[in-house]
Amino acid sequence: MTPERAAELRDGVGSVFLQVLQKNSYESICLAMSKLYLSALTGWEDSIPQGVSVAITDGSQGAKLAQLKHWLWGDTSDSTNQQ
């Protein structure tokens, strides 16, 4: 993914994202992707129905995966600091 390609995909990706949100009822959404991929979703905030919580992962790929796991399992502890 390049910044140019993300810009090219933006309209289509945003449209599909909105369709998915409209067809289903969500309480929470986790966006586990790089900043570059997230840039293809620019404007996603406007698509989120009121009352739906959004988690966005950050950090390295491993950190993102750990955050996604915690989100999926409903674990709010921070495993990145465990020894």
Q: How far apart are CA 69 and CA 72, in angstroms?
A: 5
Q: Fill in the DSSP letter of residue 81.
A: G
To the question of pTM greater than 0.95 for the whole model, the response is no
pLDDT in tens, the chain (83 residues): 999 999 999 999 999 999 999 888 999 999 999 999 999 999 899 889 999 999 999 999 999 999 999 999 987 655 443 33
Q: Which amino acid is at 68?
A: L
Block residue for tokens 């495993």: 79
Query: In sequence order, what are the residues at sequence separation of 6 or more whose Cβ sits closer than 8 angstroms to the Cβ of residue 70?
Result: 76, 77, 79
